[in-house]
Structure 1
């Protein structure tokens, strides 16, 4: 097996060139962010047109399943065959699937093409963060951290607004066709502006490991999606999926210790900082899904906010995300210190979650908005910082794998949160008359955010355990890669 390539040299043109290249990568990240929120607003219209209401959950499940399963595979392929190439391929798959979805004549075909789109989505986020890891060393990452925060906020806030407008004016199929111009712009921009060494390492792909990991993830996602709705958590189906996930997971670990080129080098977990960052990624995914899904629901159901502007309801949380992530990034770049930020972020999330547990049916909307600021500060100080810490804790050759682990755990954290919190919400609101629905929603929100507070406490403990490592900077003199076939810069 050939040696790992050295850290990429600074692209010609310096900072302006990096910003130009990163903009193309951000277009790809925005592509997946917008799609996730646009589709949610279009779903009622899709069901009305195609029918198949009983299959509605599969539209979400198929996408989430293939996204989670493909994420670590995309990450490893990026390490082996070049991150730019794999990022471009994931964009192409995502856009092609979007066109097929828009042409779907039935719910069954729409679900199948959504599964294909999920495969592309699995490569978009992990590819974007891995490319950033190649392009910008951790010490300089703070200069560009605000770009990612703006994309996340834009997708979260703008997705529902854009989705509602497009569905109402042009029809639900255009909610997917809108991905075509943005995807084309991403492909062209990345092809022209992103310059990375095209590296191909001579190594065998661990297909057995990929299969075992896929089974473990698929069983877990299906359990969290169907548990409490399609079958009881403690049932033959539920226990069977638990056993399947556990056995496949154990088999995957066994395989990784023996594979000549493991899909996920388990040695990365020898770094305490990487392990703690992985834990924070999982908890952050759970916290964000709880906040994005259930706070607007509380504001609409209990406080009378308009559903048509649901994206705007998240502004008190998303504005702090953008502001504090930029501040933290600049301080990290200037000082080289970063541990303090996830500590403060987790603490802010804990405070916000505890405050949100006090909400009742009579809580005014401005109070909810104030509480949401604490959640936004927490997210802004943990989400991107977690990826930076994880990438800084591993060798350059394993940046793709590290990005894949963080992205996958964030996704799984969200999946589990949706399942658990959905069960809580249903238990407190199912069958209630309209007059009592507000109290039921308020009661469920209290329990949901009490659970979020426990999760945030775990995140705080992990943040405190992070070991402050020096942030890698860009080498003063670019080092030629070890004997690895390197094509011309692409």
Structure 2
């Protein structure tokens, strides 16, 4: 495809990705207001985020596998419809239970959009050229991340209230659907031996869900060392073990092909993706809460604060994407990004309720620079290492593990946050992790709550640092393979390239002799 044809097709894909990212970021600064209005707790706050991440995580490999079997354009459009249904239900949610359920439906659609956009782009352009288009993805990601909190804050502070945050994504989703219909034209590869691994998918969803429920409820609803803990841990591990057996021995078309992990690059990149997911989602999702509940900002003001991190993300994503396309080398950017992520999170671990705001914003910018260079290029490294027939599955596996890390991080760190705040306050009404209306609190209690929230947020980033260090270690051991300029596997490209070089050297030798 020519650059113009790719850009036309990319327009609808980027709109779809924009609405998926926007739906996640637009509620960030609305969550304190949502939870207060629906009489929720810190656990409820956490699960409004986790529900989306969980269903997105669980279904991402399925969408990736479906992309290897059916029309990619049709699948993207189905994902947009599912996402829109979830958004409508969320907009009318009367309580926290319905809202969490609606967010889970949204996650089904977001999982499809997140995985399929990567797969479609990979099917249109070679790995070498993909860095060029990764810059556009990074820019869209950054725009959604910047505009989401800002829009969310403005909407919450307006007459629309927090429900407007879910209505606003519907026109964008409809526009993406129409643009895709007009601009995306890919050949549909149909196979007669279609087999979808429903059993494996169900076991994966069940195992991850049980463990996340245990992490978020332990320490509040029951003790960490208790009979419910033992039962949930045993059940979760058993389900995941059964999933591994089914994926490796039973399923004809596994949603997670285990043979992929025999490749060193894929194994290390997916492990790094888990760690990046824990560090990124698990810590940054609570920054909006920090600015509102510890620094006393409005939702709009909290949204403005996010520009620092996303500014760093868009700059590093755009620059590294262009450099990778120009040179074909990518490991140095992965290493540099991972190192910056470690530094940024370590700096954020020092913040509290009294840290100067310019200092906090500087630390966020460093973290954003690291994320922009590391996150997208992990997918690129994997796509460069697989056979074309496994492209969809491999791309979605990386996103799957990153999202799973995010789900675990948000759930675990949300539980830590609730426990930290409750233990520091020790006041009636906060022992269950309730999120109060700061404006209704007496000044002394409000000051105590803001201080506890600030200290607890710094503690979350401290917990995230070791995960970022593990990601850096994984990246250091990845073997760099120059990005190929064709769609075949790297190992089959090498002999052809060697033959061409030998032929050229032979011709030069003949000329020299003549």
- Structure 1 length-normalised TM: 0.86
Cα distance change, pair 96–428 in 1 and its aligned pair in 2 (3 A): closer
Cα distance change, pair 56–302 in 1 and its aligned pair in 2 (3 A): closer
Q: For 1:327, which of 319, 335, 358 is the aligned residue?
A: 319
Gaps in structure 2 of 5+ consecutive residues: 426-444, 489-514
Q: For 1:255, which of 246, 252, 258 is the aligned residue?
A: 246
Structure-2 separation of matches of 1:174 and 1:352: 33
Name the counterpart of 1:183.
173
Q: Is the 8 A contact 1:303 1:364 kept in 2?
A: no
Structure-1 separation of matches of 2:32 and 2:412: 24
Structure-2 separation of matches of 1:375 and 1:84: 34
Structure-2 separation of matches of 1:302 and 1:46: 17
Moved more, 111-120 or 181-190: 111-120
Name the counterpart of 1:32.
20
Structure-2 separation of matches of 1:26 and 1:231: 44
Per-residue deviation, 1:87:
1.4
Name the counterpart of 1:152.
141
Q: Is the 8 A contact 1:322 1:380 kept in 2?
A: yes
Gaps in structure 1 of 5+ consecutive residues: 1-10, 477-490
Q: Is the 8 A contact 1:429 1:440 kept in 2?
A: yes
Q: For 1:133, which of 122, 127, 139 is the aligned residue?
A: 122
Per-residue deviation, 1:271:
1.0
Is 2:330 the counterpart of 1:341? no
Is 2:70 the counterpart of 1:78? no
Q: Is the 8 A contact 2:56 2:108 kept in 1?
A: yes
Q: Name the count of aligned residue pairs.
A: 463
Per-residue deviation, 1:437:
4.0
Name the counterpart of 1:20.
8
Structure-2 separation of matches of 1:212 and 1:359: 40
Cα distance change, pair 226–406 in 1 and its aligned pair in 2 (3 A): farther
Name the counterpart of 2:491.
none
Cα distance change, pair 25–233 in 1 and its aligned pair in 2 (3 A): farther
Structure-1 separation of matches of 2:354 and 2:58: 43
Moved more, 355-364 or 100-109: 100-109
**C-alpha root-mean-square deviation of aligned residues, in Å?**
2.6
Secondary structure of residue in 2 paired with 1:369? helix
Structure-1 separation of matches of 2:220 and 2:395: 32
**Over residues 169-210 of structure 1, what are the superposed CA-to-partner deviations in whole Å (9 max), with x where a residue is unaligned?**
334443322222111111111111112111122222222222
Secondary structure of residue in 2 paired with 1:281? helix
Name the counterpart of 1:161.
150
Is 2:133 the counterpart of 1:121? no
Name the counterpart of 2:447.
435
Q: Is the 8 A contact 2:83 2:105 kept in 1?
A: yes
**Over residues 88-119 of structure 1, what are the superposed CA-to-partner deviations in whole Å (9 max), with x where a residue is unaligned?**
11111111332344355666555444333222
Secondary structure of residue in 1 paired with 2:223? coil
Name the counterpart of 1:221.
212
Deviating runs (4+, > 6 A) in structure 1?
none
Name the counterpart of 2:381.
389
Is 2:225 the counterpart of 1:237? no
Structure-2 separation of matches of 1:128 and 1:262: 21
Q: Is the 8 A contact 1:299 1:365 kept in 2?
A: no
- Larger Rg computed on CA atoms: 2
Q: Is the 8 A contact 2:294 2:450 kept in 1?
A: yes
Structure-1 separation of matches of 2:285 and 2:301: 14
Q: Is the 8 A contact 1:221 1:412 kept in 2?
A: no
Cα distance change, pair 22–305 in 1 and its aligned pair in 2 (3 A): same
Secondary structure of residue in 1 paired with 2:68? helix
Structure-2 separation of matches of 1:76 and 1:152: 24
Structure-2 separation of matches of 1:20 and 1:394: 27
Per-residue deviation, 1:359:
3.4
Cα distance change, pair 183–442 in 1 and its aligned pair in 2 (3 A): closer
Name the counterpart of 1:482.
none
Cα distance change, pair 214–420 in 1 and its aligned pair in 2 (3 A): closer
Is 2:160 the counterpart of 1:170? yes
Secondary structure of residue in 2 paired with 1:320? helix
Q: Is the 8 A contact 2:247 2:257 kept in 1?
A: yes
Is 2:390 the counterpart of 1:378? no
Q: Is the 8 A contact 2:22 2:144 kept in 1?
A: yes
Is 2:338 the counterpart of 1:350? no
Structure-1 separation of matches of 2:151 and 2:294: 25
Cα distance change, pair 425–96 in 1 and its aligned pair in 2 (3 A): closer
